[in-house]
Structure 1
Amino acid sequence: MTRRASLLGKLLGSVGIGRRKVADDALLLDKPLDRDQRYNDITPLLAKFQIGQVVRHRHFP
């Protein structure tokens, strides 16, 4: 005998709630990353600050 899935089970199964995508293999860089170099004239500290400002001022539903 086969099991019949409910409508809710079908909908949740198609959306994939609670499931994570399988991660791809790690990307390898040609050259090591120099953390002191300014890429596009933004330091990592400034980038973290700017991202923090965006998250702080975002209106969550």
Structure 2
Amino acid sequence: PPAKDDSMNEPPSPLSPAVRDDLLEVDEDFSEHFDAWDSLRRLVAESRAHLRVVEKSISSGEVDAAQL
């Protein structure tokens, strides 16, 4: 068999950034906290807030025909 290639097992140079183990789990943490359902809930909440602003403007008479 060919000899084992240890060229990739060299210690990192002082200029290369060290990879922290906790950073390797960022993707899992991100998907856990910001999944599709959270995005959907956020969009619904924003839409409701916008509708409340529109409703308030209409009820107060601060809207003209062009804005409708």
Instruction: Assess same fold via TM > 0.5.
Output: no
Structure with bigger helix share is: 2
Larger Rg: 2
Q: TM-score, normalised by structure 1?
A: 0.32
Q: TM-score, normalised by structure 2?
A: 0.29
